Amino acid sequence: MSVKQTMVRLALEKGLDIAFKKIKADPVNGVTDAVKLLEQYMPNTKHDEVYTKTGNVFTNFPHYVEDPNSKWVKFGTHLVQDVDTDILKSLAINLGYNAGYVGLEKVRDIRDEEKRNAPWVLLFDPTSACNRHCTGCWAAEYGHQLNLSYEDMDRIVTEGKEQGIYFYL
């Protein structure tokens, strides 16, 4: 990440601390304030108008929270009140900022320059060692010897970051 992106991330972390406190104290206005924070720190990127026609993923947030009884206000309120703040902050930074904003920009640059698709999030399974035999699940069908080593997982994540992938499931 660039110095600018790191500074924005730090500012966003502090802003999230404030937003979470406001949401806990006053859910409806707190969610609205959090959305305003996103608008301030997450401006459109050079790709947003091309790919979405309406700006970036955060552009439509104000519409979702203008009704205090909307499902999104209720969902946001419950998240902040019921989930540990550090977990939410980590999720917001890693999924929202690193993957959905910084990483997606890099993925789109690669897509435009190299004329190929690249994912913005990556799913990989470190092990197939499962004995539950759930219907439709692949893990139990392939034996228990298929495991990714720490070195393999580290290589996947390192190569992913080079491609703009900052979130792994």
Considering the domain architecture, whether residues 58 and 140 belong to the same structural domain is answered as no
Considering the domain architecture, whether residues 12 and 90 belong to the same structural domain is answered as yes
**What DSSP assignment string belongs to 108-146?**
HHHHHHHS----SSB---SB-------TT-SGGGG-S--
Higher per-residue pLDDT: 11 or 158:
158
Considering the domain architecture, whether residues 77 and 54 belong to the same structural domain is answered as yes
Q: Looking at residues 20-45, what average pLDDT do you find?
A: 76
The per-residue pLDDT for 41 is: 66
Q: Looking at residues 11-33, what average pLDDT do you find?
A: 82
Exposure letters 143-153 (e unless 16+ CB within 10 A, then b): eeeeeeeeeee
The per-residue pLDDT for 47 is: 63
From the CB of residue 71, how many other CB atoms can be counted at a distance below 10 Å? 9
Considering the domain architecture, whether residues 112 and 159 belong to the same structural domain is answered as no
Considering the domain architecture, whether residues 23 and 106 belong to the same structural domain is answered as yes
Considering the domain architecture, whether residues 126 and 44 belong to the same structural domain is answered as no
Q: Among residues 118, 145, 161, which one ends one of the domains?
A: 118
The per-residue pLDDT for 44 is: 65
Whether 64 shows a pLDDT value over 60: the answer reads yes
The per-residue pLDDT for 157 is: 93
Considering the domain architecture, whether residues 21 and 94 belong to the same structural domain is answered as yes
The per-residue pLDDT for 43 is: 65
Considering the domain architecture, whether residues 79 and 24 belong to the same structural domain is answered as yes
Considering the domain architecture, whether residues 41 and 65 belong to the same structural domain is answered as yes
Q: Which pTM value belongs to this model? A: 0.67
Whether 60 shows a pLDDT value over 80: the answer reads no
Residues 6+ apart with CB under 8 A from 131: 140, 144
> How many Å apart are CA 50 and CA 72, to the nearest integer?
27
Considering the domain architecture, whether residues 135 and 102 belong to the same structural domain is answered as no
Whether 50 shows a pLDDT value over 60: the answer reads no
pLDDT tens-digit map of 94-147: 888 888 778 888 888 888 899 988 888 888 888 777 777 778 777 666 666 778
Considering the domain architecture, whether residues 42 and 28 belong to the same structural domain is answered as yes
Q: What domain range includes position 130?
A: 121-169
Q: Are 23 and 30 in contact (CB under 8 A)?
A: yes
The burial class, CB within 10 Å (0-12 / 13-18 / 19+), for 4 is exposed
The per-residue pLDDT for 155 is: 96
H/E/C letters for each residue in 31-79?
Answer: HHHHHHHHHHHCCCCCCHHHHHCCCCCCCCHHHHHCCCCCHHHHHHHHH
Considering the domain architecture, whether residues 95 and 33 belong to the same structural domain is answered as yes
> For the chain, how many structural domains are there in total?
2
Dihedral angle computed from the Cα positions of residues 72, 78, 84 and 87, in that order, rounded to the nearest 10 degrees: -20
Q: Among residues 118, 136, 159, which one ends one of the domains?
A: 118
From the CB of residue 51, how many other CB atoms can be counted at a distance below 10 Å? 13
From the CB of residue 32, how many other CB atoms can be counted at a distance below 10 Å? 20
Higher per-residue pLDDT: 59 or 160:
160
Whether 53 shows a pLDDT value over 60: the answer reads no
